[in-house]
Amino acid sequence: MKDTSAQSRRDRLKVILKLLRENRVESQDELLDLLDGKGISVTQATLSRDLKLLKASKVGAGSEGYFYAVPSDDELRRREEIYAQDFLRGYVSIDWNDQMVVIKTFSGYSAPVAMAVDNIGWEGVLGTVAGQDNNVMIALRKGYSGQEFMDELKRRIPGIDED
pLDDT (tens digit per residue) in 64-120: 788 888 887 788 788 888 999 999 999 999 999 888 999 999 999 999 999 999 888
In which element (H, E) is residue 85 found?
A: helix 73-90
Domains of the chain: 6-69 (1.10.10.10), 73-156 (3.30.1360.40)
Predicted confidence at residue 128, as pLDDT, reads 94
Q: Are 50 and 31 in contact (CB under 8 A)?
A: no
Residues 109, 150: Cα–Cα separation, whole Å = 20
Give pTM, 2 decimals: 0.64
**pLDDT tens digits for range 16-41:** 989 998 999 999 999 999 999 999 99
Is a pLDDT exceeding 50 seen at residue 1? no
Instruction: Read off the pLDDT band of 54 (50, 70, 90).
Output: confident
Q: Are 85 and 79 in contact (CB under 8 A)?
A: no
Spatial CB neighbours of 41, under 8 Å, sequence gap ≥ 6:
1, 2, 35
* E strand segments, 10-149: 57-60, 66-69, 91-96, 100-105, 125-130, 135-140
Does 154 or 79 have the greater pLDDT score? 154
Predicted confidence at residue 7, as pLDDT, reads 59
Q: What are phi and psi of 130, to 5 degrees?
A: -90, 130
Residues 41, 43: Cα–Cα separation, whole Å = 7
Is a pLDDT exceeding 80 seen at residue 162? no
Q: Are 98 and 145 in contact (CB under 8 A)?
A: yes
Instruction: Read off the pLDDT band of 2 (50, 70, 90).
Output: very low
Residues 34, 37: Cα–Cα separation, whole Å = 5
